A and B are shown apart, each in its own frame.
Chain A
């Protein structure tokens, strides 16, 4: 369970510029939540709060009963291993192969060679890149790059996936593939929070939709939501 209680964030320590303003939100385990809104609405900020890349100016974020503000900085990496992140620009290492990109995420968390050799091909198979282990990112299509990023996000078996505009750089077919993959991941029990400005994507998923504008939640459609202007 994720709870945002009266969350406000400010820009560059300037209290007069609020990015998020009094956000109250609850997300249950296993939910698929789409956050939609125009650029600057605060969608990405909301996600970055969960990985503690930024801290709120006011309010509390409770994840599984733990206030994120009270976690020691040395424990933040452990928090991030529970949360997989996916971005519009993929954030892949261009000098590493598909296998190495996923292995890298395991190496920096102290996994041994045997574990890496076992787990990486499996996860790449799941996302449909089983044949592309040795391909470098520039040899992959946009959709494949995003699937590789999803594989990397899944490698620690996270309980939550945060996807920040994951289809922003993709064509229609690849967008559909990525959304399908995220839905499949969600069906296996992982909480997925998707931030996007694309209402077709949100409508195709047909789950809970939270609409944001100017740092505030303006609508929260809990069941079979559709984004309506």
Chain B
């Protein structure tokens, strides 16, 4: 047990010495990793903001079903109950003919011509309706199909899903685009980080060619020879993660109010502070993973023990 502890201590000491020895190289590698992790954090912010925009848009999107004038309130209520029993439906709001008219009047209170027209008409021209909100915007098509196939189809005059369909499709496209491009960008950045760290470790291995050769000759175990380079790679990632956390939070603190002025109720700073430990753990994990993976590839390629 003591041997293992000592061995681990030695590996970390050697890793740390390697890290310190090539100061400029280490700084360069850490710098590139900082950029990658910083961009990744930026991407996380963008994802969060996009999800807020999308959920805001999704809340504004719904499907309205307009009923024929001869449909009774009881019949409409039965349709409402049927809809509410669907797992995909979040909320169904009934708007009677009278409340639709009251709302219309209120909305056009300052428009004398509209008020006059309504008086001349002497009857309520508006239809009763159900406003349906789905749990997920992708469900509107299936809800519409359900309504079209429903036994109450004869009561329905029109479903305005097709008018909203374009908005819904656009929202879904944005959502998917942000996810896909974000993923792609993250992957590209990760590959760049791996390549840079890979080359740094390769240079370290090259600089220490003689030491490695001697370690091999005197019977140093594979683990003893290779592990310090894995530790060195991990250190680049860990240091980069630390720098990113220290720099990222003040930046978020300053830009958060500006974003909030554009998107009321969306606080980027609150999001990152309430998820502080998850964020730090994720960045640290990503940094160390990138560093260790790059080192692993480099030692497999260049360190023949």
Q: For residue A88, give the distance in angstroms from its CB to the closest CB of chain B.
A: 14
A81 touches B217 (CB 8 A): no
Closest-by-CB residue of B relative to A74 is: B222
* Interface class of chain B by DSSP: helix
Stretch at the interface among A10-18, A100-108, A197-205: A100-108
Let me know if A91 and B214 touch, CB within 8 A. Answer: yes
State whether A73 and B222 are in contact (beta carbons under 8 Å apart), knowing that A80-B216, A93-B214, A104-B214 are contacts in the complex.
Answer: yes
Chain A stretch 53-77: residues in CB contact (< 8 A) with chain B: 53, 73-74, 76-77
Give chain B nearest CB distance to A98 CB in angstroms.
14
Measured CA separation A179–B218 after assembly (Å): 21
Contact status of A93 and B218, CB under 8 A, knowing A108-B224, A110-B3, A110-B7: no
CB distance from A19 to the nearest CB of B (A): 19
Report B-chain residues with C-beta under 8 Å of the C-beta of A155. 218
Flag whether B211 is at the interface (Cβ < 8 A). yes
Q: Do A78 and B219 have beta carbons less than 8 Å apart?
A: yes
How far, in angstroms, from A152 to B220 measured CA to CA in the complex?
13
A110 in contact with B218 (CB, 8 Å)? no
> Could you say which of B210, B211, B218, B305 contacts A109, with CB atoms under 8 Å apart?
B218
Whether a CB of chain B sits under 8 angstroms from the CB of A156 is yes
Given contacts A80-B216, A110-B6, contact A93 B221 (CB under 8 A): no
Assess whether B155 is interfacial by the CB under 8 Å rule. Answer: no
The count of residues in chain A whose C-beta lies closer than 8 Å to any C-beta of chain B is 23
By the criterion CB–CB under 8 Å, are B222 and A91 in contact? no
- Size bracket, chain B contacts: 20 to 34
B220, A109: Cβ atoms closer than 8 Å: yes
**Closest Cβ–Cβ distance, residue B6 to chain A (whole Å):** 6
Report the separation of the CA atoms of residues A155 and B214 in the bound assembly, to the nearest whole angstrom.
13
Assuming the contacts A93-B210, A93-B211, asked whether A109 and B222 have C-beta atoms less than 8 A apart, the reply is no
Residues of B within 8 A of A171 (CB): none
A91 lies within 8 A of B220 (CB): no
Contact at A105–B221, with CB atoms within 8 Å?
Answer: no
Residues 173-226 of A at the B interface (beta carbon under 8 Å): none
Is there a chain A Cβ closer than 8 Å to B108's Cβ?
A: no
A80 and B214 contacting across the interface, CB-CB below 8 Å: no
Which residues between 9 and 24 of chain B lie within 8 Å of chain A, taking CB atoms? 10
Q: Are A77 and B3 in contact (CB under 8 A)?
A: no
A152 to B214, CA, bound (A): 10
Q: B216: which A residues are within 8 A, CB to CB?
A: 53, 77, 80
**Quick check: A105 and B214 within 8 Å, CB to CB?**
yes
CB contacts (< 8 Å) of A73 on chain B: these are 222, 305
Measured in the bound complex, the distance between the Cα atoms of B224 and A74 in whole Å is 11
Kindly list chain A residues whose C-beta atoms are within 8 Å of the C-beta of B2: 112
Residue B176 CB within 8 A of the other chain: no
Given the complex, which residues of B lie within 8 Å of A77, measured CB to CB?
A: 216, 219-222, 305
Residues of the A chain whose Cβ atoms lie less than 8 Å from the Cβ of B268: none
Q: Which residue of A lies closest to B213 (CB)?
A: A91
- Chain B residues whose C-beta falls within 8 Å of the C-beta of A21 in the assembled complex: none
Kindly state the separation between the CA atoms of A73 and B303 in the bound complex, as whole angstroms. Answer: 14
**B224 CB to closest chain A CB, in angstroms?**
5
Query: Taking the complex as formed, is A51 at the interface, i.e. its CB lies under 8 A from any CB of chain B?
Result: yes
Q: Is A167 at the interface (CB under 8 A from chain B)? A: no
Q: Contact: A110 with B221, CB < 8 Å? A: yes
State whether the Cβ of A8 lies closer than 8 Å to any Cβ in chain B: no
Bitwise, B214-253 to A at CB < 8 A (1) or not (0) is 1111111110110000000000000000000000000000
Q: Is A34 an interface residue (CB 8 A)?
A: no
**CB-based contact A108/B215 at 8 Å:** yes
Q: Which residues of B contact A9 (CB under 8 A)?
A: none
Question: What chain A residues lie within 8 Å of B7 (beta carbons)?
Answer: 110
Minimal beta-carbon separation of A190 from chain B (angstroms): 16
Partner of B219, one of A53, A74, A93, A156: A156
Asked whether any CB of chain B lies closer than 8 Å to the CB of A146, the reply is no
- Residue with the greatest number of chain B CB neighbours at <10 A, chosen from A76, A79, A110: A110
Taking the nearest CB of chain B, how far is it from the CB of A125, in angstroms? 20
What are 25 A-to-B residue pairs whose CB atoms are below 8 Å?
Answer: A53-B216, A73-B305, A74-B222, A77-B216, A77-B221, A77-B222, A80-B216, A80-B219, A91-B213, A91-B214, A93-B210, A93-B211, A104-B214, A105-B214, A107-B10, A108-B215, A108-B218, A108-B221, A110-B7, A112-B3, A112-B6, A152-B218, A155-B218, A156-B218, A156-B219
Known contacts A77-B216, A77-B219, A77-B221; 7 additional CB pairs below 8 A are A51-B217, A53-B216, A73-B305, A107-B10, A108-B221, A110-B224, A112-B2
Chain A residues within 8 Å of B, Cβ to Cβ: 51, 53, 73-74, 76-81, 85, 91, 93, 104-105, 107-110, 112, 152, 155-156
Closest 6 pairs between A and B when the two form their complex, measured CB to CB: A108-B220, A81-B219, A80-B219, A105-B218, A77-B219, A77-B221
